[in-house]
């Protein structure tokens, strides 16, 4: 295993080796999943990073120098990510951005902390990355606690605004990966704390395709709320099989899978009424959100999601810090990141370190609902474009 890792490191170093540029540039290292299980997400992040890069360089770069990205594919694998991180650490890049999955970014954060290289989290949301965290690790996007809290705030909001539709019980199904498990864990804690009765609680192995035995048990429990955490294909299969077995609920929330535009395309009308939490949306009431949506859409060649926006956000945060720091000093870049106070079309960014958390932006998660085949921001109320449609009708009534 050690010799295999050394070979991967050597390959990454060779891939990073290049002739010195003719003009001075500031280079940012990026570790992203461009192949393997998470490639669909990685491609979206790459789009957002490129839109940010174009914007930054069109405005003169950083300190009058062009910003460049050195992007390494982690192949959706932690060992490959660590090899790329080792190469970046040796090369001297001032900051690294990465990666998608929490199972990759967790080890990456620990390694770069030991090497004293600032890391800006790209897509991972597991609480443990910034709690207890590290003074070298910064995350502008949400965490599992922030996301789960947004869901239960939404459930509470629906319950309070429509007292004729009782919401008292919840059934949960989630994959056994780092992110789904963390969101399931926090969801159970919040359900208990807020007085919801848990009538179903089931983890499943990644790769499972037949969810009907679980869904039939849930149907017998007749939950008011379905709280589902699944990656892309899992969520599509679960939604199709829910309709097949007749499992419905007054509120259906599907995290991750339902946030993708492809979810609506794949499940069609069955996507209606489904809610999902995101860090950004095209219609959120943030200045510049609409313009950013159009630029992301043009670059992607299709409807973007919040993943593109998170890629954009990560690089904008890096450029802002580099502009206030000495790019040749990683300690200076780290200190500039810690002092970040900026507003973007995605969210405001102000990293906090308190209550056992380090380097975490207290971002507000948004709840989208699929209405008439489109994702619409419905919560929080002050950022919503439309009110939620509630309750979800039975399958037979659609």
Looking at the fold, whether 195 and 262 belong to one and the same domain comes out as yes
Same domain, 239 and 377: yes
Both tokens of 19, joined, read 């002739």
CB 388 within 8 A of CB 379: yes
User: Which pLDDT belongs to residue 219?
Assistant: 97
Q: Are residues 136 and 61 in the same domain?
A: yes
Q: What is the pLDDT of residue 352?
A: 87
**Per-residue pLDDT tens digits for 98-140:** 999 988 999 999 999 999 999 999 999 989 999 999 999 999 9
- Do residues 201 and 274 share a domain? yes
Q: Are residues 128 and 189 in the same domain?
A: no
Residues of the domain holding 332: 2-142+286-360
82 and 160 inside one domain: no
Same domain membership, residue 154 and residue 24: no
Radius of gyration, CA atoms only, the chain: 21
- In DSSP terms, 138 is beta-bridged to 120
Can you tell me the distance from the alpha carbon of 363 to that of 181, in angstroms, rounded to the nearest whole number?
21
119-121 and 137-138 strand pairing: parallel
DSSP structural state of residue 175: E
Q: Return the closest-CA partner of residue 140 out of 286, 310, 289, 259.
A: 310
Q: Count of domains in the chain?
A: 2
Evaluated on CA atoms 203, 172, 187, 277, the torsion sign reads positive
Extract the tokens encoding 225: 């709320």
Give yes or no for a contact between 96 and 16, defined as CB atoms under 8 angstroms apart: no
Do 382 and 313 share a structural domain? no
- Indicate if 249 and 378 belong to the same structural domain: yes
The token duo for 219 is: 């149907």
Query: DSSP states of 126-186 as a string?
Result: -GGGTTT--TTEEB-S--HHHHHHHHHHHHHHHHHH-TTS---EEEEEEESSHHHHHHHHH
Strand segments, DSSP code E, in 59-196 are: 67-73, 96-98, 119-121, 137-138, 169-175
- Look at strands 374-379 and 275-278 and give their pairing: unpaired
Q: What CA–CA distance (Å, rounded) separates 312 from 170?
A: 35
H or E segment to which residue 288 belongs: none
Q: Do 379 and 325 reside in the same domain of the chain?
A: no
Judgement on whether residues 240 and 377 belong to the same structural domain of the protein = yes
Res 178: pLDDT: 79
Structure tokens belonging to residue 84? 């790329």
CATH number at residue 253: 3.40.50.2300
Q: Looking up tokens 């450029």, which residue turns up?
A: 319
- Show the tokens assigned to 377: 């921001």
Give the pLDDT score at 293: 97
pLDDT at residue 3, rounded to an integer: 44
* Cα(321)–Cα(333) distance, integer angstroms: 6
Q: What's the rounded Cα separation, in Å, for the pair 325 and 328?
A: 9
Render 213-228 in DSSP notation, one character per residue: HHHHHHHHH--SEEEE
**In the chain, which residues have pLDDT < 50?**
1-15, 17-22
For 331-356, write each residue's pLDDT tens digit: 999 999 999 999 999 999 999 888 89
Distance CA 190, CA 200 (A): 15
Do 354 and 371 fall within a single domain? no
119: cis peptide before it, omega within 30°?
no
């Amino acid at each position: 295993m050690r010799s295999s890792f050394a070979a991967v490191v050597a390959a990454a170093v060779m891939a990073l080796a290049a002739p010195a540029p003719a003009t001075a540039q500031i280079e940012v290292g990026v570790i992203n999943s461009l192949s393997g299980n998470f490639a669909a997400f990685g491609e979206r992040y790459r789009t957002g990073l490129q839109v940010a890069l174009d914007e930054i360089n069109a405005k003169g770069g950083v300190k009058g120098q062009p910003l460049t990205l050195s992007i390494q594919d982690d192949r959706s694998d932690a060992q490959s990510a660590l090899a790329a991180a080792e190469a970046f650490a040796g090369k001297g890049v001032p900051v690294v951005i990465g990666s998608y999955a929490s199972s990759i970014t967790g080890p990456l954060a620990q390694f770069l902390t030991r090497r004293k290289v600032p890391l800006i989290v790209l897509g991972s949301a597991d609480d443990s990355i910034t709690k207890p965290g590290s003074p070298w690790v910064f995350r502008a996007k949400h965490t599992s606690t922030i996301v789960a809290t947004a869901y239960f705030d939404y459930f509470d909001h629906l319950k309070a605004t429509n007292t004729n539709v009782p919401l008292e019980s919840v059934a949960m199904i989630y994959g056994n990966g780092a992110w789904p498990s963390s969101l399931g864990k926090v969801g159970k804690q919040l359900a208990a704390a807020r007085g919801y009765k848990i009538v179903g609680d089931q983890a499943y192995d990644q790769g499972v395709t037949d969810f009907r035995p679980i869904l039939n048990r849930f149907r017998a429990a007749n939950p008011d709320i379905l709280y589902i955490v699944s990656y892309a294909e899992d969520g599509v299969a679960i939604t199709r099989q829910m309709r097949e077995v007749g499992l419905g609920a007054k509120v259906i929330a599907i995290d991750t899978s339902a946030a993708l535009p492809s979810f609506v395309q794949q499940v069609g009308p069955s996507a209606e009424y489904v809610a999902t939490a995101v860090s950004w949306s095209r219609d959120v009431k943030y200045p510049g959100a609409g313009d950013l949506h159009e630029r992301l859409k043009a670059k992607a060649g299709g409807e973007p999601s919040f993943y593109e926006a998170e890629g954009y956000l990560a690089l904008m945060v890096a450029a802002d810090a580099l502009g206030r720091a000495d790019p040749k000093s990683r300690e200076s870049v780290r200190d500039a990141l810690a002092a970040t106070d900026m507003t973007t079309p995605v969210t405001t960014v102000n990293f906090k370190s308190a209550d056992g958390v380090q380097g975490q932006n207290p971002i507000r998660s948004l709840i989208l609902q699929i209405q008439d085949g489109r994702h619409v921001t419905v919560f929080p109320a002050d950022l919503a474009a439309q009110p939620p449609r509630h309750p979800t009708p039975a399958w037979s009534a659609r």
